[in-house]
């Protein structure tokens, strides 16, 4: 039986990923903070088991590892849990950067550290980290979020090189705007010129599965990758566009 662990599984991308993996026959460990949502989802799936944990707590990695050790190996870890956030650095300050990094980056690093020995023993196995297109191309007004996702994307790339020799594939999935319960993206969806920019959680789940099966990096929607390429060729132009985009 293939075992996968999905964080942030109670809604949005995490829930869609859990449903997709369930359809593919995986045994699932679902991690999130909202017990009611997590237990309801687990009850709808074939072989899913909720684990209510706040991944920023000091004992979280040890608790998750103890639960994983009860299984016969762990083949896939999907680090999806995270927070958004808007506001300039001047308005929000260091404390917002610290809190955002704690959830979006530090918690992922700590969990991977705890579970990496298990994933190595189960190799070939995979880690898929959900970063963001904002982890490659920054936007004004999202400095804390961009900092956390840039850190996650770069760290993922580096440890992917390190762990290849141990049979652990490590991949980045970098969504752009995704329409979820907490982020309906109403203004973008209602504008015909920007509607293409918004994806669905199910599309991100598809990209996560593709990444787990060997892809190093996936953008969702895929045209977002062109913006990343353009940033490398014309960083000044991209900076001017993103500074005044209002997105």
Contact 74, 118 (CB under 8 A): yes
Specify whether 145 is catalytic: yes
CB 13 within 8 Å of CB 204: yes
Asked if 175 and 132 count as a contact pair (C-beta separation under 8 A), the reply is: yes
DSSP 80: -
Active-site choice (94, 145, 219, 224): 145
Rounded to an integer, what distance in angstroms lies between the CA atom of residue 210 and that of residue 216? 9
Element (H, E) at 39: helix 35-44
**Backbone Cα Rg of the chain:** 18
SS3 221: coil
Give φ, ψ of 101 to 5 degrees: -65, -35
Three-state secondary structure call for residue 200: coil
Supply 177's token pair: 């705007």
Query: Catalytic residue numbers?
Result: 145
């Amino acid at each position: 039986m293939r075992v996968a662990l999905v964080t942030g599984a109670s809604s949005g991308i995490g829930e869609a990923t859990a449903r997709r993996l369930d359809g593919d026959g995986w045994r699932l460990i679902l991690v999130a903070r909202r017990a009611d949502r997590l237990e309801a989802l687990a009850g709808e799936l074939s072989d899913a088991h909720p684990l209510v944990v706040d991944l920023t707590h000091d004992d979280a990695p040890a608790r998750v590892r103890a639960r994983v050790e009860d299984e016969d190996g762990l083949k896939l870890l999907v680090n999806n849990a995270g927070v958004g956030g808007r506001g300039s650095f001047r308005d929000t300050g260091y404390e917002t950067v610290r809190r955002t990094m704690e959830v979006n980056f530090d918690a992922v690093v700590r969990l991977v550290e705890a579970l990496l020995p298990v994933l190595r023993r189960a190799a070939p196995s995979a880690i898929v980290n959900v970063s963001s297109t904002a982890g490659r191309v920054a936007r004004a007004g999202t400095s804390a979020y961009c900092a956390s996702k840039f850190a996650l994307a770069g760290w993922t790339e580096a440890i992917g090189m390190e762990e290849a020799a141990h049979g652990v594939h490590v991949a980045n999935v970098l969504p752009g705007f995704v329409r979820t319960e907490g982020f309906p993206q109403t203004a973008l969806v209602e504008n015909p010129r920007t509607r293409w920019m918004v994806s669905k959680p199910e599309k991100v789940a598809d990209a996560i599965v593709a990444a787990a099966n060997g892809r190093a990096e996936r953008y969702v929607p895929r045209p977002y990758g062109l913006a990343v390429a353009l940033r490398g060729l014309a960083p000044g132009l991209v900076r001017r566009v993103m500074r005044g985009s209002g997105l």
